[in-house]
Amino acid sequence: MSRFAHDTAVRAVGDGIYEAAIDGGWSVIAGAAPNGGYVMATAARAMAHAGGQPDPLSVTCHYLAPCTPGPVRIETEVIKAGRRHATVAASITQGSRSMAQLLGVFADLEAATGPSVDQRRVSPLPPIDDCIDGLSDRAPDPAAMSEVPPIFQRFEHRTAPGVMEWARGAPTGEGAVGGHLRWADGAPMDTFGLLVVADCYPPAVFNLQGLTPGWAPTIELTVQVRARPAPGWLSAWFTTASVTGGYLEEDGEVRDSTGQLVALSRQLALVPREAGG
Amino acid sequence: MSRFAHDTAVRAVGDGIYEAAIDGGWSVIAGAAPNGGYVMATAARAMAHAGGQPDPLSVTCHYLAPCTPGPVRIETEVIKAGRRHATVAASITQGSRSMAQLLGVFADLEAATGPSVDQRRVSPLPPIDDCIDGLSDRAPDPAAMSEVPPIFQRFEHRTAPGVMEWARGAPTGEGAVGGHLRWADGAPMDTFGLLVVADCYPPAVFNLQGLTPGWAPTIELTVQVRARPAPGWLSAWFTTASVTGGYLEEDGEVRDSTGQLVALSRQLALVPREAGG
């Protein structure tokens, strides 16, 4: 079983209620809050099971408080289960505390038929051979490897040159980040994994001049999963084009190794704390 | 009271439950299903009231069945009410039938502070003086005025030239539609009205070659409201860039008369029935 499948496994304990364990290996800072996409993916597994459909189609998660590693309870409610789509609500609690609330629709993307058109502007992500092996073009200090955020270690990364230089005080000036990636353990990517991919890079806003990197809490994340990914590298590109009154969106686009669009994401987040109001 | 305020009024009947009346004047086809943005706006009024915040900040609505004009019941659940944000779930029912399920976060956008940055690509919408008065550059047949969809009559429109020619068999070939608009009755635009604006144009997919116009049912609509709009005309631009296996996204961007971004929307819809699988 892959690391991702293991760490997002849910156990039905009856009446639409599931138990899962949030693993500390998906945090942005070791020992701190788990990645929002990972939390969404775990809940989505329960929601898909409850709704009787294999794939997330569009999932929205509102983050109320950062989960801590350890057991969570996921309560699902099937709002409507049609032939083609199942709409499911869910809440994640730890003890008596609400950590996240979700609403999503699930389907069988293998059975999706109908026309396909792609007029999407090609992202400026360079081809994989022109990208950086890892997240940075600087050789990591072996002594600092323990500081690599756990979630980055879950993927093998080929990163667009320059987009991580904000970490050394040199943001690109454009709100964009992205690269090519796949699971570090070689597992195939499924439609639940795409929910993590949609939230696995440092915030694109870190590349905007004048905004200090810091915790940029996600208020709400919505991911549309559009197809099951073909085997191989994914490419992902994230942009923040508008910051308004301390709020920002981050839009993501994920393609598979054949160039097919597999996910679109958008989140609403607060600007990094150091810079925010 | 403006037409919009009247037609989206909700009445608290206790314990988080509200009553409202869906008005037939917001349908896309007279006598048929009301516009999804209008349904969202009505529910959002109840959700904002329940959460004790004046503005929708991000609202997601999953459409389960088309409402019919007449009374609806809106049941709200305040998931979390913090100082700055209130997260609220809601369901809309008619009789015993679930028509829509919502999840949103509400705030006071007047109090929003923090940095603002705008790197968004300027939409190709021409200035208002270069747009068409109304939705079409053909003089309407007075006998056909009753066929103008009710929702179009709620707005005064100045429309980008050519984007409505799909109605005469001449789609532009690019999945885009938009124009300048304001309430027909001169009412000021509020943050709830933006939820309607985010869904008030014919689907951008109608301009894609080879896809026959028809009912393109919205599965899910998420609107981020980013600011209270300044008085005057709004400009709105909607694009569908990717159709995959019969599903499509429609992304919208709404600015106020000062050019400020006031809303971002994204919906997941099915391709028009005649063309879909």
Distance CA B254, CA B262 (A): 6
pTM for this predicted structure: 0.96
Whether the CB-CB separation of A63 and A83 falls below 8 Å is answered with no
Please give the sequence-ordered ranges of beta strands (E in DSSP) within chain B, or none if there are none.
Answer: 10-14, 17-22, 55-63, 70-81, 86-94, 97-107, 117-118, 132-133, 155-159, 176-183, 218-225, 234-239, 242-244, 247-255, 261-270
Distance CA A124, CA A252 (A): 13
Of A267, A275, A251, the C-alpha closest to A120 is A251
Our CA-based measurement puts residue A71 at a distance from the nearest CA of chain B, in whole angstroms, of 21
Residue in A80, A87, A101 closest to B89 by CB: A101
**Interface list for B 185-214 with A (CB within 8 A):** 208, 210-211
CB pair distance less than 8 Å for B261 and A276: no
Q: Is A3 an 8 Å CB contact of chain B?
A: no
**Structural element, H or E, at residue A153:** helix A150-153
Q: Which whole-number Å values give the CA distances from B77 to A24, A88, B18, B260, in the listed order?
A: 31, 16, 11, 32
Q: For residue A223, report the phi and psi dihedrals to the nearest 5 degrees.
A: -120, 125
Name which residue leads in pLDDT, B88 or A137: B88
Q: In a structure prediction context, what are the per-residue pLDDT tens digits for chain A, which is 277 residues long?
A: 999 999 999 999 999 999 999 999 999 887 788 999 999 999 999 999 999 999 999 999 999 999 999 999 999 999 999 999 999 999 999 999 999 999 999 999 999 988 899 999 989 999 999 999 988 766 555 555 557 889 999 999 999 999 999 988 999 999 999 999 999 999 999 999 999 999 999 999 999 987 878 888 999 999 999 999 999 999 999 999 999 999 999 999 999 999 999 999 999 999 987 533 3
pLDDT of residue A146: 58
- Which three-class secondary structure state does DSSP give residue B260? coil
Q: Which residue has the tokens 């439950």?
A: B17
Q: Is B247 an 8 Å CB contact of chain A?
A: yes
Q: Is B89 an 8 Å CB contact of chain A?
A: yes
The tokens for B268 are 């997941």
> From B176, which residue of chain A is nearest by alpha-carbon distance?
A119
Q: Is B258 an 8 Å CB contact of chain A?
A: no
pLDDT of residue B209: 81
CA A143, chain centre distance (Å): 28
ipTM metric: 0.95
- Which three-class secondary structure state does DSSP give residue A250? strand
Residue in A80, A115, A120 closest to B241 by CB: A120
The tokens for B236 are 């709105």
pLDDT of residue A275: 39
Number of residue pairs across A and B with CB atoms under 8 Å?
193
pLDDT of residue B29: 81
| Number of neighbouring beta carbons within 10 Å of residue A262 | 26
Average pLDDT of chain B, as a whole number: 93
CB pair distance less than 8 Å for B227 and A211: no
Residue in B62, B102, B116 closest to A105 by CB: B62
Our CA-based measurement puts residue A142 at a distance from the nearest CA of chain B, in whole angstroms, of 37
pLDDT of residue A248: 97
> From B86, which residue of chain A is nearest by alpha-carbon distance?
A64
Which residues of chain B make contact with A264, given a CB cutoff of 8 A? 242, 249, 266
Cβ-Cβ contacts under 8 Å for B141 (sequence gap 6 or more): none
Residue in A64, A112, A211 closest to B247 by CB: A112
Whether the CB-CB separation of B23 and B70 falls below 8 Å is answered with no
Whether the CB-CB separation of A10 and A4 falls below 8 Å is answered with no
Percent above pLDDT 70 for chain B: 95
Distance CA A113, CA B245 (A): 5
Instruction: Please check the confidence at residue B140 and state whether its pLDDT lies above 80.
Output: no
Our CA-based measurement puts residue B143 at a distance from the nearest CA of chain A, in whole angstroms, of 36
Q: How many residues are present in chain A? A: 277
CB pair distance less than 8 Å for A243 and B211: no
The tokens for B68 are 């019919």
Mean pLDDT, rounded, for B166-188: 95
Give the best residue of B207, B218, B242, B249 to mutate against chain A (max A CB count within 10 A). B242
pLDDT of residue A135: 80
Name which residue leads in pLDDT, B251 or A141: B251
pLDDT of residue B144: 57
Which residues of chain B make contact with A260, given a CB cutoff of 8 A? 244
CA dihedral A111, A116, A118, A123 (to 10 degrees): 10
Which residues of chain B make contact with A263, given a CB cutoff of 8 A? none
Which amino acid, one-letter code, is at A139? A
Which residues of chain A make contact with B176, given a CB cutoff of 8 A? none
pLDDT of residue A250: 98
Tell me if the domain spanning B3-109+125-270 has CATH number 3.10.20.30: no
